[in-house]
Amino acid sequence: EKERVLYFNNPMWPGEAHSLKVEKTLFKGKSEFQEVLVFESASYGKVLVLDGIVQLTEKDECAYQEMIAHLPLCSIKSPRNVLVVGGGDGGVLREISRHSSVELIDICEIDKMVIDVSKKFFPYLAIGFEDPRVNLHVGDAVEFLRNTPEGKYDAIIVDSSDPVGPAQELVEKPFFATIARALRPGGVLCNMAESMWLHTHLIQDMISICRETFSSVHYAWASVPTYPSGVIGFLLCSTKGPPVDFKHPVNPIEKLEGALQHQRELRFYNSEMHEAAFALPSFVRREVSYL
Residue nearest to ligand AAT (CB): 86
Q: Give whichever of 7 and 290 is closer to ligand AAT, judged by the CB atom.
A: 7
> What is the number of H-type helices and E-type strands within the chain?
10, 12
Alpha helices (runs of H) in 27-140, residue ranges in sequence order:
61-73, 91-96, 112-121, 123-126
Q: Are strands 46-50 and 53-57 parallel, antiparallel or unpaired?
A: antiparallel
CB of 143 to ligand AAT, least distance (A): 8
Closest CA to 177 of 213, 208, 151, 204: 213
- The residue from 159, 162, 205, 245 that is catalytic is 159
152-165 b/e with 16+ CB inside 10 Å = b? bbbbbbbbbbbbee
Q: Give whichever of 50 and 126 is closer to ligand AAT, judged by the CB atom.
A: 50
Are 93 and 124 contacting, i.e. CB atoms less than 8 angstroms apart? Answer: no
Q: Give whichever of 141 and 155 is closer to ligand AAT, judged by the CB atom.
A: 141
- Positions in the binding site for ligand AAT (CB under 6 A): 50, 53, 55-56, 85-89, 91, 108-111, 114, 140-142, 159-162, 166-167, 170, 192, 227
Q: Give whichever of 22 and 198 is closer to ligand AAT, judged by the CB atom.
A: 198
CB of 265 to ligand AAT, least distance (A): 20
Active site residue 60: no
Please tell me the distance from the alpha carbon of residue 40 to that of residue 21, in angstroms, as a whole number. Answer: 9
CB of 239 to ligand AAT, least distance (A): 21
Q: Give whichever of 227 and 244 is closer to ligand AAT, judged by the CB atom.
A: 227
Please tell me the distance from the alpha carbon of residue 233 to that of residue 230, in angstroms, as a whole number. Answer: 10
CB of 138 to ligand AAT, least distance (A): 9
CB of 188 to ligand AAT, least distance (A): 19
Please tell me the distance from the alpha carbon of residue 103 to that of residue 287, in angstroms, as a whole number. Answer: 38
Residues forming the active site: 159
